Amino acid sequence: MTHARHITLPAGFVAGAVRCGLKSTQREDLAIIAAGDGPVPAAVVTTRNQVVGAPVRWCRSVLPRGYGRIRGVVVNAGNSNVCNGKRGDRDAAAMASMTAGFLGGTAEEVLVCSTGIIGHPMPMDKVRQGIAAAAGGLSAGNDAAVAAAIMTTDTRPKSAVVQGRIGGKLVTVAGIAKGAGMIAPSLATMLSFITTDAALRPAALGGALKAAVEPTFNAVTIDSDTSTSDTVIVMASGAAGNAAIAGGADLAKFARLLTEVCAALAEMIARDGEGATKLLRVTVRGARTDADARTAAKAIANSPLMKCAVHGGDPNWGRVLMAAGKSGAAVDQDRATCKIGPVTVMRRGTSCPYDTAAAEAHMAGDTVEIDLNLALGKGRFTALTCDLSREYVAINADYHT
């Protein structure tokens, strides 16, 4: 699914990225992704944290219903513009306004995303130069630089592309994402930008994005901490030429494509969590409700004890059951059954003899699957996370402000 051209692969988009000195590394740190031909339908989902950065406040004020029409997005890494008071809000608006100047529209047609250090005012002189340079170089050939520009401590860029036929036309959905990297003293932040050449009504796009985010990006947890800047944005150019999707079977089809891209990016984010050596996929099934399944799956995926056991390759089903039991989801320990990979390690709350070698072999791989069946109902949820390693502690303890 990874592609050399991704974010501008769907027709109708251009992008540009530059290094303007916000990051301490030599990489790009500011990018613009824009519709090539005026405003297009777009949708945005932002963090659930009550503490949010100025860019999130800007996006919410511009698209209060979560969808509408925009010309593009300006994004930077290196400074998250969080906890900078009114000055932060002014700076975010100025970033939108400057970008709009180059794209030929109003500030309200540009979304802003920032990730990086918090509590430090945005160095607007650098940002101004960066926006001018990125806008000057907008084209369909900068995808790699754009994917690099949004990275913080991600170890690799993340992108995904899927295609399908809708309304007789070939439709492309492409996305890039950054994951749980840190530029201390900031927060791990998840950002994703998705483009498509499908034609949709804005409200339909908004609904599809909300639905796609839930089982994908919102299923990822690296360390239970929620960034103040998490943002997912999708733009739809309509260049594919299909009749604008408003609902029905075409919307369902599009939502599937969008969800597929989000799922691929979410898995890449989990696999590249700070210090991660493995992807951990936790499925809770048979819960009383889907909400219960989600609560229990997240509790298992967030359990430091569980994540350490996965890091150590230990099929520790006791920690699975413990985490479900403390989560608040309904659990009857005498009904619960747990599998690690293909191996049933606990049946109805009691240890059962199992093939230790097979369980350990599964855990030695780069993807660990834990499946807990609560046998109480039909609720089901899969959470994505990574193992907890000494490297995570090193990344997050050794930096000094």
- Nearest approach, Cβ of 112 to its own copies (angstroms)? 18
Task: Return the DSSP state at 132.
Answer: H
Q: Which of 326, 342, 355, 367 binds its own copies (CB under 8 A)?
A: 326
Q: Determine whether 195 is an active site residue.
A: no
Residue whose C-alpha is closest to residue 58's, from 133, 111, 129: 111
254 vs 240: CA distance, rounded Å: 13
177 vs 193: CA distance, rounded Å: 6
Query: What length does the chain have?
Result: 401
185 vs 342, beta carbon nearer its own copies: 185
Task: Return the DSSP state at 120.
Answer: S
Helix (H) or strand (E) holding 200: none
What 3-state DSSP class applies to 257?
A: helix
- Contact window for its own copies (CB under 8 A) among 3-11, 33-41, 81-89, 168-176: 81-89
Environment class of residue 306 by beta-carbon count within 10 Å: exposed (0-12), middle (13-18) or buried (19+)? buried
Residue pair 8/134 in contact (Cβ under 8 Å)? The answer is: no
122 vs 138, beta carbon nearer its own copies: 122
- Contact window for its own copies (CB under 8 A) among 44-52, 107-115, 125-133, 235-243: 44-52
Q: Please, what sign has the CA dihedral across residues 105, 59, 114, 195?
A: negative
Q: Does 49 interact with its own copies (rule: CB under 8 A)?
A: yes
- Contact window for its own copies (CB under 8 A) among 141-149, 262-270, 278-286, 315-323: 315-323
Q: Which of 114, 186, 337, 385 binds its own copies (CB under 8 A)?
A: 186
Site for its own copies in 284-303 (CB under 8 A): 302-303
Q: Which of 41, 66, 286, 313 binds its own copies (CB under 8 A)?
A: 313
Q: Which of 319, 339, 362, 380 binds its own copies (CB under 8 A)?
A: 319
Q: Which of 330, 358, 361, 375 binds its own copies (CB under 8 A)?
A: 330
For residues 241 to 280, the per-residue mask of contacts with its own copies, x marking binding by CB under 8 A and - elsewhere, is ----------------------------------------
- Contact window for its own copies (CB under 8 A) among 38-46, 71-79, 179-187, 242-250: 179-187
Q: Which of 226, 283, 289, 344 binds its own copies (CB under 8 A)?
A: 226
218 vs 210: CA distance, rounded Å: 10
Query: Exposure pattern of 146-179 as b/e (b: 16+ CB <10 Å)?
Result: bbbbbbbbbeebbbbbbeeebbeeebbbbbbbbb
Q: Which of 4, 26, 64, 85 binds its own copies (CB under 8 A)?
A: 85
- How many residues sit in the footprint of its own copies (CB under 8 A)? 72
Q: Does 373 interact with its own copies (rule: CB under 8 A)?
A: no
Q: Which of 153, 316, 373, 385 binds its own copies (CB under 8 A)?
A: 316
192 vs 228, beta carbon nearer its own copies: 228
Question: Which entry of 8, 46, 172, 189 is annotated as an active-site residue?
Answer: 189
Residue pair 162/260 in contact (Cβ under 8 Å)? The answer is: yes
Residue type present at position 141? G
Site for its own copies in 117-156 (CB under 8 A): 118-120
Residue whose C-alpha is closest to residue 263's, from 188, 366, 194, 196: 194
Residue pair 48/226 in contact (Cβ under 8 Å)? The answer is: yes
The catalytic residue positions are 189
